[in-house]
Amino acid sequence: MDQSIPAAYVEYRGMETKPDDFDTFWLSQKEEVERATLHVQLELQETVVFQGKKVYRIQFQALDKTPIIGWYICGETRHKQCLLTTHGYRSQKKSPHEYLHWVDAGVDVLAFDMRLQGGETGCMTPLDGPFKEVIALNILYLPKSYLLMVYQDMMLASRLPEWLGYEGYVLEGTSQAGGLSMATACLMQTATAVMINVPSNSDLDERVRQSAGSFKAFQMLCNR
């Protein structure tokens, strides 16, 4: 069976629609994340017991002061590397036991809920728009748009492994988590490795044009 990548996929570059201030904008976002003081809370889950491992409820303060909530799972003797991950769209972080295989494989785990998608993380910023698809909220005001805030959250989360004392970290995720991991890796340039699967947000122009999945909300907004 021929498993080579079709030439059309290799050559595809998408539409060139970046605004002139694209690089300047994202550089300013990176600098804001790097300047931010980390406010982190760890709470050992004493009733969640797995042999040779510790589970903490962790939360850090986002740029808008929203508590971003997740799990921190490590071995009794911590590993040198940490895995940073989240979840697919409109989902939530999994139960701690579903991350134990990563610890057994040699990396500790940080796994977070994204804002307003079914888990514990809410949002302190006032939001406006079609609440059926949270990614479209505040899209007409970019500095406070939902999409920008989740990118900022993930970029800020990428500072936690160093804060916790790890030598390096791996970004991992599928779909929305994959898209956020890819963007974080490119923007922050601090990950040891990146493992992503079917990353969302990879070709936004095409997704909006085709009304693909949750991005139908953007086409509806444009049409209106």
Q: Give pLDDT tens digits for 29-52.
A: 999 999 999 999 999 999 999 999
Number of H helices, E strands in the chain: 8, 7
Question: How many angstroms separate the most distant Cα atoms in the chain?
Answer: 56
Q: What is the pLDDT of residue 131?
A: 63
Confidence of residue 15 (pLDDT cuts 50, 70, 90): confident
Q: Taking a C-beta distance cutoff of 8 angstroms, is the pair 64, 97 a contact? A: no
Of 80, 73, 30, nearest to 52 by C-alpha is 73
Report the pLDDT averaged over residues 94-100: 97
Q: Which span out of 1-5, 103-107, 131-135 was modeled with the highest average pLDDT?
A: 103-107
pLDDT of residue 130: 66
Q: How far apart, in whole angstroms, are the C-alpha atoms of residue 143 and residue 196?
A: 27
For residues 99-125, give the mean pLDDT.
97
Q: Which whole number is the average pLDDT over 72-79? A: 96
Cα–Cα distance for residue pair 167/80, rounded to 1 Å? 6
Contacts of 45 (CB under 8 A, 6+ apart): 55, 56, 57, 96
pTM, rounded to two decimals: 0.93
The label of the residue with tokens 């694209």 reads 22
Residue 207 DSSP SS3: helix
DSSP of 95-114, one letter per residue? PGGGGHHHHHHTEEEEEEPP
| pLDDT at residue 202, as a whole number | 80
Q: Which residue has the higher pLDDT, 15 or 197?
A: 197
Give the per-residue pLDDT at 111. Answer: 98
Percent of the chain residues topping a pLDDT of 90: 75
Whether the CB-CB separation of 63 and 33 falls below 8 Å is answered with yes
Cβ atoms 208, 220 nearer than 8 A: no
Residue pLDDT, tens place only, 162-179: 999 999 999 999 999 999
Q: State the chain's mean pLDDT as an integer.
A: 93
The answer on pLDDT for 221 being more than 70 is yes
- Label residue 87 by pLDDT band (50, 70, 90): very high
Helix, strand, coil % in the chain, rounded to nearest 5: 35, 20, 45
Phi-psi region of 193 (alpha: psi -120 to 50; beta: other; left: phi over 0): beta
